[in-house]
Amino acid sequence: MRKTILTGIKPTGQIHLGNYIGAIKPALELAKEPDYKAAYFVADYHGLTRVHDAEEFRQLSYGIAATWLALGLDPDKVIFYRQSDVPEIFELNWILSCFASKGLMNRAHAYKAIVDSNKRSNKDNDFGVNMGVFNYPILMAADILMFKTEVVPVGKDQIQHVEIARDIAESFNNNYGMTFLLPEYKIQEDTAVLPGLDGRKMSKSYNNTIPLFEEPKKLQKLINKIKTDSMPPEAPKDPDSSVLFMLYKEFASDIEVKQMKEQYINGIGWGVAKKELFHVMNRFIEGPREKYHELMSSPETIDKILKEGAEKARSISAPFLKEIKNKIGFYV
């Protein structure tokens, strides 16, 4: 039996190169492994905890879907859907919330981080916290448990959420007998942490990102912004401590990397290094960028793909929800 592997991305911001290297690329590689049956989705209801502008929400949601597809997700091989198209998840969300202790939610790190920051600025503990933010881990547990997921590929910041899903599953199972599989998280240890424009990890919260599908001119501009030191062009440079080189490595071929390393050691001007970086990045992005724009200008194509995916998803979720409700004592 193939194991179910499942992950979602919430539409709260523009996808950047760090997301691609750190999350999307490894997830797409896992989906190709014969041992796995993959289910990837747009976590739009999770996005609603933060984005409350309808047009922005719509664009961001399509953006996530178009990104997966442009980067090569094959909807014939991966069950690919929009969370909001699978109503069983939301029924399960309520059921699970009746098995999730409030204390457990109080300890969830995203919520705790807001409370801590409110405390520091002398605000009410729960200032700016809507119940969606508070219940976020329960909806995520529903996403995961609904499909008998065994493996959840996520970033380190999501480990606790997967553990919470296990806790909730166990408390349901203890009460009604074995029902939910206990999911495990999978951290891609070997994937690179991509540095951002300032050298720190590329992340929305540091405001140092390079959007994945940036137009060539803007891409070159952003690359030009990457901080370098004031060494003269002919001075030898250490490739391993250079952000430009770290980025270059992710997009260049082995031979190119080797040659670039030598150029660093022999002395390369930062301007030249930036041009070369642009060249390899743009070469990689070109194809997917075109596909992305094509899809974004044809939302009905995206809708069709997602609807078909939701049908496949519901062929699993609908009978399973029935079984769950039956165990609880609902008339089904």
Instruction: Find the binding residues for ligand TRP in span 144-173 (CB under 6 A).
Output: 144, 152, 154, 158, 161
For ligand TRP, which is the closer residue by CB, 43 or 69?
43
Q: Compute CA distances 276 → 9, 218, 249, whole Å.
A: 31, 15, 11
Q: How far apart are CA 283 and CA 66, in angstroms?
A: 19
Catalytic residue list contains 258: no
For ligand TRP, which is the closer residue by CB, 89 or 302?
89
If one asks whether residue 26 binds ligand TRP (CB under 6 A), the answer comes out as: no
Write the burial class of residue 253 (CB in 10 Å: 0-12 exposed, 13-18 middle, 19+ buried): exposed
Q: How far apart are CA 254 and CA 116, in angstroms?
A: 46
CB of 314 to ligand TRP, least distance (A): 17
Catalytic residue list contains 119: yes
CB of 143 to ligand TRP, least distance (A): 4
Q: Which residues, in sequence order, are CB contacts of 33 under 8 Å at separation 6+? A: none
**Interface mask toward ligand TRP for 122-141; x: CB under 6 A:** ------------------x-
Q: How far apart are CA 50 and CA 275, in angstroms?
A: 37
If one asks whether residue 96 binds ligand TRP (CB under 6 A), the answer comes out as: no
Amino acid at 55: E
**Interface mask toward ligand TRP for 220-259; x: CB under 6 A:** ----------------------------------------
If one asks whether residue 214 binds ligand TRP (CB under 6 A), the answer comes out as: no
Catalytic residue list contains 227: no
- Identify the active-site residue in 204, 312, 325, 327: 204
183 in Cβ contact with 166 (< 8 Å)? yes
Instruction: Write out the DSSP string of 245-282.
Output: HHHHHHHS-HHHHHHHHHHHHH---HHHHHHHHHHHHH
122: left (phi over 0), alpha (psi -120 to 50) or beta: left
- Identify the active-site residue in 77, 112, 119, 227: 119
If one asks whether residue 302 binds ligand TRP (CB under 6 A), the answer comes out as: no
How many beta carbons lie within 10 A of that of residue 185, not counting itself? 20
Instruction: Find the binding residues for ligand TRP in span 265-284 (CB under 6 A).
Output: none
If one asks whether residue 46 binds ligand TRP (CB under 6 A), the answer comes out as: yes
If one asks whether residue 4 binds ligand TRP (CB under 6 A), the answer comes out as: no
82 in Cβ contact with 39 (< 8 Å)? no
**Which tokens go with 94?**
């309520």
CB of 127 to ligand TRP, least distance (A): 22
If one asks whether residue 43 binds ligand TRP (CB under 6 A), the answer comes out as: yes
Binding interface with ligand TRP (CB under 6 A): 6-8, 10, 43, 46, 140, 143-144, 152, 154, 158, 161
Active-site positions? 119, 201, 204
